[in-house]
Amino acid sequence: MHGRRLTAVASPLWPPGFGLHERAALADPELVAAFRGVPTALVSDCLGRCVGSRGLVPYHGDPALTLCGVALTVRVRPGDNLMLHKALTLARPGDVLVVDGSGDVSHALAGGLMRLAAIARGVAGLVVDGAIRDVAEWAEGELPVFARGHAHRGPTKDGPGEINVPVACAGLAVAPGDLVLGDADGVVAVSPNRLPELLGAVGAKAEQEEELRRHHLASRDDPALRARDDERVDALLRARGCPV
């Protein structure tokens, strides 16, 4: 089942623009647990440094609070949260609600009451390409939330919208069941079939960075180590034709 993708074809029983689908492929729970606490920067580096969210703001108040869970995706009409409410009723503990609100920040899609409802259901967090409100309540922490912005104006509840379809969310391509990670640096999403290989790459990258940390700490008292860093940078410049 891993790697299978849902299509955005609604049931003929639903009105145009509405749809409710099942997640055909879910990230393995053991792999989800293994990625908990892994920095998004490491994941992004291992994925070629060209993936990840753009323009999302963490509103949960605590920069140490991180997000890790499985994507339950929602596409809504800008400023309307009817299908987001429906998605919340379907959420399982550990799910991340990933909302494609087209980047519109004129009306909030989620507020403090929805925050409490999400906590009650064990939701791991929200990623909203749109606005939220009740900012002070989100800033109390406990539930990670990343959003494009905030607005006091509330949403409509008319639809349409779709649940568990591939969405575009602040520069992210997210499919239902993807692993979603978020921290103070941003948000990344990874397909389930890439997780085993990625976990090994992330571990190797973390070891490499830890070695560099030890090197830089030691170089405070060792001019030879600093000279080695100087030469490494100059070598990169020479490789690009610079006369250093």
Residue 25 pLDDT > 90? no
pTM above 0.95, yes or no: no
Cα 188 from Cα 173, distance rounded (Å)? 9
Residues 77 and 156 in one domain: yes
Residue 1 pLDDT > 90? no
Residue 6 pLDDT > 70? no
Which helix or strand (DSSP H or E) is residue 130 part of?
A: strand 125-132
Cα 17 from Cα 122, distance rounded (Å)? 29
- The structure tokens listed for 93 are 């503990």
- Structural domain includes residue 13: no
Cα 121 from Cα 100, distance rounded (Å)? 21
- Structural domain includes residue 12: no
Residues 80 and 116 in one domain: yes
End-to-end CA distance of the chain, in Å? 54
Domain housing 213? 198-239
Residues 161 and 224 in one domain: no
Residues 48 and 23 in one domain: yes
pLDDT digits (tens, 9 = 90+) for 175-185: 999 999 999 99
The SS3 call for residue 240 is: coil
- Structural domain includes residue 116: yes
Residues 149 and 215 in one domain: no
pLDDT (mean) for 196-214: 95
Count of domains in the chain?
2
Look at phi and psi of residue 56 and say left if phi exceeds 0, alpha if psi is from -120 to 50, else beta: beta
pLDDT digits (tens, 9 = 90+) for 89-143: 999 999 999 999 999 999 999 999 999 999 999 999 999 999 999 999 999 999 9
Out of 22-26, 99-103, 166-170, pick the least confident. Answer: 22-26
- Structural domain includes residue 129: yes
